Amino acid sequence: MITKEIQVSGITFRLTLTDPIISQVKNLKSLYNTAYEDPESFEQLSTEISSAIQEISTAIEPKADDIHLDSLIQEIIKTVDDKTAEIKKITNEKVEKKTSKKSRRKK
């Protein structure tokens, strides 16, 4: 679990990222991309988008009002993307270290 503070319009929100919330954020990002690529599908996806946003908003303290929610969701998506990239980088570094250790032993 990761807790992060995000500032939107001078208000500090605390975001608690858990695995289910991260999954919802990734799902929301996918829904946004689908709606962007096919604008006619937006109406069909709007219920799913609203549901994902509602789920994500449970991880935010204090509760965000509609005025701040869009900017806050954008920051949350950015935060999850950054954390995912960081984890991927660390994982790749560990794999590279293991690979280089194995090749040294064979010599």
Question: Whole-model pTM?
Answer: 0.79
With 60 as the cut, is the pLDDT of residue 48 above it?
yes
Q: DSSP state, 39?
A: G
Give the pLDDT confidence score for residue 55 in this predicted structure: 92
Both tokens of 88, joined, read: 């991927």
Region 58-76 average pLDDT: 92
Give the pLDDT confidence score for residue 95 in this predicted structure: 80
Half-sphere CA count of 20, side-chain side, radius 13 A: 8
Q: Which residue has the higher pLDDT, 42 or 56?
A: 56
Question: Who's near 55: CB < 8 A, 6+ residues apart?
Answer: 20, 21, 24
With 60 as the cut, is the pLDDT of residue 106 above it?
no
Banded pLDDT at 51 (limits 50, 70, 90): very high
